[in-house]
Structure formats: C-alpha cells, structure tokens
Amino acid sequence: MSASELLDLSGRVALVTGAGQGVGHQIAATLAEYGASVIVNDFDLDRAKRVADEICTAGHVAMAARADVGDFDQVNRMFSDHGLGPVSIVVNNAGNGGAGPTPTRQLPFWEQRPADWERFLRVNLDGVLNVTQRGIAQMVPNGWGRVITIISDAGRVGESRGMEAYSGAKAGAAGFTRAIARLGGQYGITANCISLGATRTPAIEAQIQNEAFTKKVLSNYIVRRFGEPSDAANAALFLSSEAASYITGQTLPVNGGFSLTL
Ligand SMILES: NC(=O)c1ccc[n+]([C@@H]2O[C@H](COP(=O)([O-])OP(=O)(O)OC[C@H]3O[C@@H](n4cnc5c(N)ncnc54)[C@H](O)[C@@H]3O)[C@@H](O)[C@H]2O)c1
C-alpha cells in the first residue's frame, strides 16, 4: 500500500469529543480531510456546528452532536442518534485542564473541596469511559476500530498548582486506554494515547500572552515553541490509520521533546 492509501480513512466514521475548538477542532478537520465522516461533539452546540459547517464547506462530511461526555445518557443518545453508521474511530479529546487562572488553581490540594476535583474527573476520566464504552460496542461487530485518548504530560509526570486531580484523571484515562487495547486486540481494535505538552489553543491563550510564563514553559521544550493543534491532529491521523495497525496500548508524546528535559 502507498503512504496515501495507508492514511486514507474513506468509509470510516470518526467521533471526536470536545471538537468545537482547539485540538479537537483540528483533529476533526484532519480526519475529515483524509476521508472520514466526522461527528463533531461538543457540549457547546454552537461551537460544534461552526466546526461541522467549516468541514462541510471544505467538501467533506461532518455533523455536529451536542453531548456532555461526562453524562452517560447524553453520550448514549449521541451514539444512537447521529445517523452516520457505526463509529469506527473514537478520539477522546474533551478535557478541561486549561491553564486558566481558576480559583482551584490558587488553592493547595489540602484546601480543595470534592467539587474542585470532581469536575476534572468527570470530563477527563468518566467522559473517556462513557464515550469509549459506547464506541467499542459499535466497533466490535465490524472487527475494526481505533480509540485515541488525548492525555497530558500532567498525567505522566504530575502537575501540582491545583492540577492534582487533572493529573490523576489523565493518568487514569491512560491506564483505561491500555486496558481497552488488551480487550480490543482480538476484535481488530487498537487503543492508544497522545500525550500533549503546552499546545496553543483557546485553553491556554491567556497564559501565552504572559511573557514570563512563555519563557518559563518554553525552556522545558527542546524545540522552543508551543505545540500547535495540527501537531496533535497529525498524530491522531496516523494512529487512526492503517499505518498504525500494529501499534496499540502506547502513549505517543507530542510535546516538543519535553520528556527529554525531565
Ligand atoms: N492546550 C494544552 O496546552 C493541552 C495540554 C495538554 C493536554 N491537553 C488536552 O488536550 C485536549 C484538548 O484541549 P484544548 O486545549 O483544545 O481545550 P479547549 O478548552 O480549547 O477545548 C476543549 C473543548 O472541549 C469542550 N468540552 C469541555 N468539556 C466537555 C464535555 N464535558 N463534553 C463535551 N465537550 C466538552 C469545550 O466546550 C471545548 O470546545 C484536552 O483533553 C486537554 O486536557 C491540552
């Protein structure tokens, strides 16, 4: 097979969560460009519609689907109602770890309340279980599938400053995704994670304006730039494709070499 045939996703239906902006937006657009029909999920329907319209205007197939990934019933309805056929690629991208200045970020963990950490677990861990559970139910009968979970370097190395629960949720999502790799192998399903470093999206836009923050962060990235959503999307395309059919249970760091500075 040629390289372009290996990356061809024609005939696949992909669901990308949290695709109304940022990394998810770019992943949805890239998978559609390579032939997948894409369900653009977000709990903000206007955002999802804007992205789906943009993809359709570019001549590809997409539809918007509103669901809060942390709510199993909403996720279940989304999988039943979309009408594009069985989902064969799930990208668990929805997350709420933006480095924004939240009240939680200013509190040491020992002063936080359960509500401060439950909101991280709900999206970054429960959301991944909910969506993957419904997704693989549609992949197993077809004997082919891809699960890709976007985690964070916070989940691999731990981040404090109010991000303890976020770190735990992302690490949990990675462990869960490896378990799905074990389960899915016999059904032609691979499951992998992409671990992102600081990536230029609306989630960290405000921080990037801060020169001191930028200097400090980039000193840990050996390529000396922030990640772009396209960096994540290119990795997601590869892992979604036939080119990655022998790769499962892995975490691919897309982080400008951050790992090497640890
Ligand atoms: N941007 C970074 O620096 C960075 C670093 C490491 C990991 N990540 C991870 O990458 C992923 C994408 O991050 P981003 O920077 O594009 O974020 P973002 O905040 O720019 O976009 C996230 C999108 O997800 C949607 N969303 C949030 N909660 C949802 C829910 N419960 N159900 C459905 N949709 C929901 C939001 O409405 C938003 O459109 C996340 O999982 C994040 O944790 C990002």
Digit-coded pLDDT (tens) for 181-220 = 999 999 999 999 999 999 999 999 888 899 998 998 899 9
Cβ neighbours of 177 (radius 10 Å):
24
Instruction: Give the residue, by CA position, lying nearest to ligand 1 atom 29.
Output: 94
Residue linked to tokens 């809060």: 68
Give the burial class of 196: count Cβ atoms within 10 A of its Cβ; 0-12 exposed, 13-18 middle, 19 or more buried: buried
Closest CA to 187 of 149, 130, 141, 148: 141
What local confidence, expressed as pLDDT, does residue 103 receive?
A: 54
143-176: string of b/e by CB count within 10 Å (b at 16+)?
A: ebbbbbbbbbbbbbeebeebbbbbbbbbbbbbeb
What local confidence, expressed as pLDDT, does residue 98 receive?
A: 65
Relative to beta strand 37-42, strand 145-152 is: unpaired
All residue ranges of the chain with pLDDT < 50 are 100-101
The residues annotated with a catalytic role in the active site are 166
26 C-beta closer than 6 A to ligand 1: no
User: Cα 234–67–227 angle (5° rounding)?
Assistant: 25
Q: What is the pTM of this model?
A: 0.97
| Å from CA of 5 to ligand 1 middle | 30
What local confidence, expressed as pLDDT, does residue 259 receive?
A: 79
Instruction: Give the residue, by CA position, lying nearest to ligand 1 atom 41.
Output: 95
